[in-house]
Structure 1
C-alpha cells in the first residue's frame, strides 16, 4: 500500500525513536520524507535545527519548500523532558520545555499552513498520555503535552475550512533507545520489564511502528472526516484500574 506516492512529509525528531518509525512508515508508503532535529540524519533528508530557537521552525519549513516544492503532511514529534516538581523546577527549565514541546509545534504549524492549504494536507502532533494523566516530577512535560492536545483542537477548528485536518496521538510506553537505557538502569531490569508488561492489558510495551501506523492513517486520504481528535495509543494502560 503506497498512499503517499508523490507526497512530501516533514517529521520533526525523525532520526530516532518514534519519529524514526513514523518516517520509515511514510517512506514505505511512497512519501519523500524530510526530518528536522539537532543532529544529522543519514537515513532521510535531514535538516539540522535547534527547535528551541524561534527562528528554526520557519527556516525548516522554508527549506522543505525550497527543496521539494510542496508539503502534504507535518508531524510534530520532537520533544524533551526535564524532570522536577513545580517547587523545584527553575524558570529556565520550564521555559525550555515549553519552547521545544509547544512553541516549536506552534511555529511549525504557523509556517506550514499556507503550504498545507495548497495541498489540503494534514498535521499530526505527537502528544502523550501525560497530556491526560501525569507521572511524578513531570510538571512541565505534562503541561506542554496537554497544551499540544489543546493546540490540536484549535488548529482543527480554525483551519478545517481550508481542507486541513489536525489530530494528535498520545502514546504511552513506547520502546526506544531512551526507554532501554532507563530499563537497564534499574536494579533488576528483567523484573522491571515484567512489571511494565503487566500494567498493559496487551501484555507488552509499544513500538514506534505501532504509533507510525496510526499517524500514517490520520495523514492519509483514508481519513477524510477525522480532525481535532487525540488518540491514545498505550496498549490499554490508562483504562486498566490498579488492584486495591
Structure 2
C-alpha cells in the first residue's frame, strides 16, 4: 500500500519510541519522511530543532520544505514527562514541560500551516490518556496533554475549510524504551511487567506499531471526513472500572 506516495511527512520525536514507529510506517507506505528532534537521526533524514524556540521551528520547517519541495503531513510526537506534584514543581520545570509538550506542537503547527494548506494536508498530534485522566505526580504532563487535545480541536475548527485536518491520538501504556527504563527503575521490575497487562482489558500493553497504524489512517485520504477528534489507543484501560 502506497497511501503516501509523492507526499512528505515531518515527524517530531521520530528518532525513537512511538515517533520512530510512526516515521517507519509512513515511509513504508511511500512517504518521504523527515524527523525533527535535538539530535540527528541515524536512520532517516532529519532536522535539528529546539521545539521551544519559535525561530528554530520556523527555520526547521522551511528547511524540510526546501529539501523535499512540499509538506503534506505533520506529526507532533516529541514529548517529555516530569514526575512532581504541583507543590513540588518549580516554575522552570513547569514551563519546560509545557514548552515541549504543548508550545512545541503549537509552534510546529503555526510554521507548517501555509504548506499544509497548499497541499491539503493533515496534522496528527500525539496526546495521551493523561490528557483525559491523570496518574499521580503528573500535574504538568496532564495539563499539557489536555491542552494539546484542545489545540487539536481548535485547529480543526479554524482550518478545516482551508483543507487542513487535525486529529490527535491518546496512547496509554506503550512498550517503548522510555517505559522500559521506567520499569527497570521500579523496586521490582519483574513484578511490574507481570502486572502491567492486568490494567488492560486486552490483557497486555501496547506496541508502538499499533499507534503508528492509527496515525497512518488519520493522515491518509481514507480519513478525509475525520477531523477534530481524539482517539484513545489504550487496550481499553480507560474504559475498565476498578472493582467495587
Q: Distance in 2 between matches of 1:178 and 1:241?
A: 27
Q: Distance in 2 between matches of 1:152 and 1:88?
A: 29
1:105, distance to aligned residue in structure 2 (A): 0.6
Give 3-state SS (helix, strand or coil) of 2:93's partner.
helix
1:184, distance to aligned residue in structure 2 (A): 1.8
The 5 Å alignment of 1:37-116 reads 37-116=37-116
Let me know the Cα RMSD of the aligned residues.
0.8
Q: TM-score, normalised by structure 1?
A: 0.98
1:29 matched to 2:29? The reply is yes
Q: List structure 1 runs of 4+ shifted beyond 3 angstroms.
A: none
State the number of aligned residues: 244
Partner of residue 175, structure 2: 175
Unaligned runs of 5+ in 1: none
Q: Distance in 2 between matches of 1:210 and 1:111?
A: 28
Give 3-state SS (helix, strand or coil) of 2:54's partner.
coil
Give 3-state SS (helix, strand or coil) of 2:221's partner.
coil
Q: Deviations over 1:183-224 (max 9, x none)?
A: 122232222112110100111111110100000000001111
The 5 Å alignment of 1:1-244 reads 1-244=1-244
Unaligned runs of 5+ in 2: none
